[in-house]
Structure 1
Amino acid sequence: MSFSHDHVGLSVTPEDLDATVEWYVSKLGFTVDQQFDSHGTTFVYLVSGDVKIELLAGASHRQLPIPDVLTSMDPARLHHFCIAVEDLDATVSALRDLGVALIGGPMAVAAIGQRIAFVTDNLGNIIEFAEPGTWPAGRPG
């Protein structure tokens, strides 16, 4: 078997769909690639470079409490998704200029040879930004 990443799917309420699309467009520069309704759910695909996020808004979604962001390791939910960036400092600066607050970092993680930082979107989903680094010997880069 061989795999490559396709997209991350995030559930939102129908009431939060437009605000969530606007957040990703205005704060992270994503564009709407597709939007359609199927089986009682509205699907919106957002893209930026080779990163794709699928927003799913259906009537049956229930609101869950926002976790204690970086410390929550609840196995019943997505903890975060990660977007690779060329320059973490430039990304953090641009995010701050757009009013996006960091919830963690920037920090160096020596074990993987990367610098990372974290934010949350308008719904509390955690997004990690990772700057390329040199992986330790024996680890893929």
Structure 2
Amino acid sequence: MTIKKIEHIGIMVKDIEASIKFYNEVIGMEHLNTILHANGVIKLAFLAFSGSPDAQIELIEGYNAELPAEGKTHHIAFTVEDLDAEVERLKSLNVKARDAQITTLPNGSRYFFFYGPDGELFELFEPGQA
């Protein structure tokens, strides 16, 4: 198993710029970067605390901002070294996948979503080359 750490926690937002400002000014997190998803619609912003880039919050705009307050956390992501091997391992364990394939982002990062036993959403994330 190559799971190394919690990569990020994804939170859906209505206005990514307002949320970046809030997480910066109120929570004290630094904005690391914002990228447009490969689908050309969803924006992803990553934030972390100064000196702690290993634990990040991912803000997601354009997916579904209409969930109730207790449903804003979209997923928990784990960093992996070999996404293909981990996806095969999940299949061998009969873990239910959300999508049939791995998604690649414009920066080369790749991810795969799957469900926990209570329907919670998890992501395996293989970082691309920055």
The TM-score normalised by the length of structure 1 is 0.44
- Which structure has the larger Rg over C-alpha atoms? 1
Question: Which structure would you say has the larger RCO, counting Cα contacts within 8 Å and 6 or more residues apart?
Answer: 2
The TM-score normalised by the length of structure 2 is 0.47
Task: Return the structure number with greater strand share.
Answer: 2
